[in-house]
Structure 1
């Protein structure tokens, strides 16, 4: 079963190093009509892109063994008309520009839900993106960033505080509180 918005080639490659996230997203995308393959590393993503080039791809930028931009390049080499969406928790303008130059159609910041991802995958090239109805508050964005850095530092409070240029005790107080809305 395929959705009319997807088209006859419904192959989707998801490349992310977060296993539980991939499994949840794969189920959600299969329910929407995609034939999903997944990869948890740059090397695995490149190999899958070469073996069976997907029509659609969702690629995380920062993976354990390298940069997701290498996977995008491999997809573009093997299927020039593939629709590639970049998904990352480390969004900044420079990486967004670089991803688009390499052929990404869109750039989504984590956390993105299955509906947002599906909409980005099937959006026509000229369609404009609607602004979010409930954007995250500045406090929530700050909290999300702190959580990402904390996880990246393997939950080491001292290293996280150093990277965020904040006092360790201040960071501990922030981590002890609930997430803002």
Structure 2
């Protein structure tokens, strides 16, 4: 990465934004911070970013919905999607929508910059020895169906054959470890 690039950090966790902003400024970036999609788009229109980190789960939106809008404003922007709610479905969609990489939180500045710099895949990435747990498979399936229904909880609950409140409780929990 070259110095003086414009970096947009989009995350509703203000502490994460503060820490990441300080780390990236020390590395020579001009940093803009947004805590929601609307603010991110406003900042991007004022100064199109060269690179961006985008939280998958924003308070009132989804990073997946914001990603194409951001790239429409700054088509050459390299975007890494960050999330504490990783799933195969959202990783695939993020890449299809134009992200250059997808990282699970916690991720530090060096990991994010390495992800932004990577031009190709890594064939030496380790493959897990054990299959995911049934709880993890369930989590992945719920995320896939939720994505298919554009984040609509009621439609997802109907498709899964479960009560809407049950689904909401499952979605409030952290993703299950592998």
- Do both share a fold (TM > 0.5)? yes
- 1:63 maps to 2:58: yes
Structure 2 unaligned regions, length at least 5: 127-131, 140-164, 171-178
2:27 paired residue number: 32
1:46 to partner: Cα distance: 1.6
Pick the aligned partner of 1:92 from 72, 87, 91. 87
1:122 to partner: Cα distance: 2.5
In the alignment, the residues of structure 2 paired with residue 79 and residue 114 of structure 1 have an alpha-carbon distance, to the nearest angstrom, of 22
Q: Deviations over 1:90-123 (max 9, x none)?
A: 1001111111111000000011122211211223
1:104 paired residue number: 99
Pick the aligned partner of 1:163 from 155, 169, 174. 169
1:44 paired residue number: 39
The residue correspondences of 1:76-87 to structure 2 (distance < 5 A) are 76-87=71-82
Moved over 2 A (4+): 126-132
Change (3 A) 1:129 1:20: farther
In the alignment, the residues of structure 1 paired with residue 38 and residue 106 of structure 2 have an alpha-carbon distance, to the nearest angstrom, of 24
What is the TM-score normalised by the length of structure 1? 0.66
- 1:21 maps to 2:16: yes
1:128 paired residue number: 122
Structure 2 counterpart SS, 1:108: strand
In the alignment, the residues of structure 1 paired with residue 114 and residue 123 of structure 2 have an alpha-carbon distance, to the nearest angstrom, of 9
In the alignment, the residues of structure 2 paired with residue 32 and residue 130 of structure 1 have an alpha-carbon distance, to the nearest angstrom, of 28
1:173 paired residue number: none
What is the TM-score normalised by the length of structure 2? 0.67
